[in-house]
Structure 1
Amino acid sequence: EEPTAMEKFASPGKGNGLRSSKAVKPGELLYRAEPFAYTVSKKRLGGVCERCLRRKDRLLRCSQCKVARYCDVRCQKEAWQDHKRECKCIKSIEPNFPPDSVRLVGRIIFKLLRQSTCPSEELYSLFDLQSNFDKLSEEMKDGLGHLARTLQLYLKVEIQEASQLPPALDILPTFAKVSVKTGFLAVLSFPMSLIFVFHAKP
């Protein structure tokens, strides 16, 4: 059975949203898609596959960075496009390790540079998401500025100049999109599942 069609809508003063375009039954699957970008949080490293996010006692370790872990060779191969450039970045800052949001924004940048697309973008692309950066306090903006400087150091081995970044990507608002723990953004920041799954409320 096909999932119910979803549509975007704007809620004045509240931002963007999703809703079903037809009547649904409680518990019915509404939409399912892989997120554009995701990463395992630092506290989960070593116990979760970086591709499918399954918990497992024994995982294969990336022979280069020694950080990323996978269920098997298949998961490792499927994850390689997302891990290839970040692998060098992780190695370059040893023994330090980037904050979760820095690693996630790094992945977003590398994916945009590859011009890679994702089915979930049919609903909202990264550029559709609201950052609310202008509404943040100066203290929060300073915190995002610190993350942006940390990102610069983290990416240095792969990206040396701002001209190498994806066109139209503004780093501080991007951090605001992935660091604010509300609604859709929380899924991007701390995914516990590889899949976005929306169900109708009972």
Structure 2
Amino acid sequence: MDVQTMELQQVRVTELKGKGVGLIAAQTFQPSDVVFAEQAFAAVPFSSIATRTCNSCFRRGWRLIPCHQCNLAWYCNRTCLREARTVHGSECKDLLRMQHVNDTVRLAAQVLKRVARDSVAITDGDLVTIDRLQTHSERLSQDLQAIMKTDLSAFLNFCPKAAENFDGNFIEHVLCVIHEYSLLLHDQSGTNPVGMGLFLLASLLNHSCAPNCYLVFNNGNYEANNTMYHTPARLEVRALFPIKENDELTIFICLFLVFWRRTKDFSQGAFFHRL
């Protein structure tokens, strides 16, 4: 069963009263079951540790193989390098021309290049589109608006060809989506954040102080000699408690923040208020 098939069979997108669009279970799950798994629509390592992080599976290492053209993207082995060829091949020249670009801009460039490459905002089988993800640009603080303008200007300089395919409003929308929905990627230890990625289906998970799911980033496995045993890096949404069919799927963020700080961050970043 591939990732997309599992998504279609195990979860449903629905309109939730008072919450907007969300995800519900299409079957029952037991604790630790994988509710669904999803490969990143786009993902980048943090620039501060890029030389020690594989750009494909996001494992950390000390003997990584660099891209021989730009020396700015690094990989565990030649298998990971081949897996990332399509994505990195489209950004290699941009990185050479403008090496000092922030992670948000680089991720936005990958998102828009994939949209252009696929000719649509999604690939067949996806349950949600980038253009339908709700953003709250009209509620951004002045500081965040200034950051968005800076990122937009940097994007146009970093990726001028991709920018020609989209109007400014859509590019701004993508930047807002990244700000509101991007998730941290962790190395093989599961504890060290090494990058950020956009997962379209997981973006619909609502947050709860009593969630029934939790997120795990699985780095995949490309070490087997037989490629049939290779598995891609992916986000896994796992059941925390028993889940019944038609139960809403929820997650919990900001685990280590006190209540008042968590409430403030939710209202400013996720744009909802805890009742």
Calculate the TM-score normalised by the size of structure 1: 0.82
**Greater RCO, 1 or 2 (C-alpha within 8 Å, sep 6+):** 1
- Residue aligning to 1:101: 104
The residue correspondences of 1:5-154 to structure 2 (distance < 5 A) are 5-11=10-16, 14-94=19-99, 97-115=100-118, 118=123, 122-154=126-158
Mapped partners of 1:73, 1:169: distance in 2 = 38
Q: Is the 8 A contact 1:29 1:198 kept in 2?
A: yes
Q: Is the 8 A contact 1:35 1:118 kept in 2?
A: no
Q: Is the 8 A contact 1:49 1:55 kept in 2?
A: yes
Q: Does 1:195 align with 2:234?
A: yes
Q: Does 1:165 align with 2:165?
A: yes
Higher alpha-carbon deviation: 22-31 or 102-111: 22-31
Q: Give how far 1:41 is off.
A: 1.4
Q: Residue 240 of structure 2: SS of its match in structure 1?
A: coil
Q: Give how far 1:21 is off.
A: 1.5
CA RMSD of aligned residues (A): 2.6
Q: Residue 88 of structure 1: SS of its match in structure 2?
A: helix
Mapped partners of 2:196, 2:62: distance in 1 = 21
Q: Give how far 1:135 is off.
A: 2.1
Unaligned runs of 5+ in 2: 186-194, 198-216, 219-232, 242-275
Task: Summarize deviations over 1:86-126 as a string: whole Å, max 9, x none.
Answer: 111111024xx11111000000111111117657x623222
- Residue aligning to 2:268: none
Task: Summarize deviations over 1:146-202 as a string: whole Å, max 9, x none.
Answer: 10001111113x44xx5x22479711121111013xxx5325872465312111113
- Residue aligning to 1:175: 175
- The alpha-carbon distance between structure 1 residues 8 and 98, as it changes in their structure 2 partners (threshold 3 A), is same
Q: Is the 8 A contact 1:131 1:176 kept in 2?
A: yes
Higher alpha-carbon deviation: 1-10 or 13-22: 1-10
- The alpha-carbon distance between structure 1 residues 91 and 143, as it changes in their structure 2 partners (threshold 3 A), is same
The residue type equivalent to 1:51 in the other structure is S
- The alpha-carbon distance between structure 1 residues 143 and 73, as it changes in their structure 2 partners (threshold 3 A), is same
The residue type equivalent to 1:200 in the other structure is A
Unaligned runs of 5+ in 1: none
Q: Is the 8 A contact 1:6 1:30 kept in 2?
A: yes
Q: Which has the higher strand share?
A: 2
Residue 185 (structure 1) aligned to one of 182, 186, 192: 182
Q: Residue 72 of structure 2: SS of its match in structure 1?
A: coil
Q: Residue 17 of structure 1: SS of its match in structure 2?
A: strand
How many residue pairs match? The answer is: 192
Q: Percent identity?
A: 22
Larger radius of gyration: 2
Q: Give how far 1:16 is off.
A: 3.0
